[in-house]
């Protein structure tokens, strides 16, 4: 009877000791994982996956170290700058703000004046465009069509250089229309009006014609009317 009691006490002590040993091992493994140490080896035939450390990226591609830093594109080998707004990267010249929009016909006023200088072989009409709205841009040539009794005559562009222009509110820019004088003694072709289309626009302004009332009759080999680029007649202001 004493022998059975002794064996029961020894068995209880062994169970308690085993439980304490298991708890100590689990505490050690948890501490290793919290410190970033690798966990204990997995039993044969099983796989243990360690989660990424806090804050680590688990995706490929480029990473940045903060606003204004540069990173290296693994595909192209180029150094690029992160986009501060989206966190993405972009190469090349970078993003830039958009400038003023092009000048619209509806935001401009038009005035045509006779600008012929005595002694010139050709006669000249200066057309002035005044900006009534916010800053806008225009580049190149306006479309010019003379309305005549013989139909519409479209002006040909001169070979003068083109300069991009930013037209501020309440400022103006002018260009010249050149045409031959009717010195033939005949009635010629009567001019009845002027259509002007700003560069890059499709809507025209109908303006009274201030120049000579007629054009000489030509042999039909070309137009006798030419137009210069924006800014070719005087200074905008």
Name the token pair of 131: 């900006």
Query: H helices of the chain, where?
Result: 2-34
Alpha-carbon distance of 173 to 155, in angstroms, equals 19
Domains of the chain: 105-227 (2.60.40)
Closest CA to 232 of 175, 164, 179, 165: 175
- Please write the tens of the pLDDT for every residue from 148-206: 999 999 999 999 999 999 999 999 999 999 999 988 777 889 999 999 999 999 999 99
Note the pTM of the prediction, 2 decimals. Answer: 0.57
> What average pLDDT does the segment 49-61 reach?
47
CA distances from 229 to 23, 104, 235 (A): 90, 17, 12
According to DSSP, the β-strands at 156-157 and 165-167 are unpaired
Q: What is the pLDDT of residues 68-87, one digit of tens each?
A: 444 444 444 544 443 333 23
DSSP conformational letter for 185 = S
* Residue 229 scores a pLDDT above 80: yes
């Amino acid at each position: 009877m004493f022998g059975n009691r002794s064996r029961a006490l020894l068995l209880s002590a062994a169970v308690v000791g085993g439980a304490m040993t298991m708890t100590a091992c689990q505490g050690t493994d948890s501490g290793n994982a919290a410190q970033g140490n690798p966990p204990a080896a997995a039993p044969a035939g099983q796989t243990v996956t360690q989660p990424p450390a806090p804050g680590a990226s688990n995706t490929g591609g480029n990473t940045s170290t903060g606003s204004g830093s540069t990173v290296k594109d693994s595909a192209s080998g180029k150094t690029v700058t992160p986009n501060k707004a989206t966190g993405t990267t972009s190469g090349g010249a970078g993003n830039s703000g958009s400038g003023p929009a092009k000048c619209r016909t509806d935001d401009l006023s038009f005035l045509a004046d006779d600008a012929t200088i005595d002694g010139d072989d050709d006669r000249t009409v200066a057309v002035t465009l005044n900006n009534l709205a916010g800053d806008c841009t225009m580049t190149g040539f306006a479309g010019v069509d003379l309305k005549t009794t013989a139909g519409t005559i479209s002006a040909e562009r001169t070979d003068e250089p083109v300069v991009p222009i930013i037209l501020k509110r309440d400022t103006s820019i002018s260009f010249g229309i050149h045409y031959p004088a009717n010195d033939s003694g005949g009635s010629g072709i009567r001019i009845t009006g002027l259509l002007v289309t700003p560069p890059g626009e499709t809507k025209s302004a109908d303006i009274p014609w201030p120049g000579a009332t007629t054009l000489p009759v030509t042999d039909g080999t070309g137009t006798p009317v030419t137009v210069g680029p924006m800014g070719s007649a005087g200074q905008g202001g």
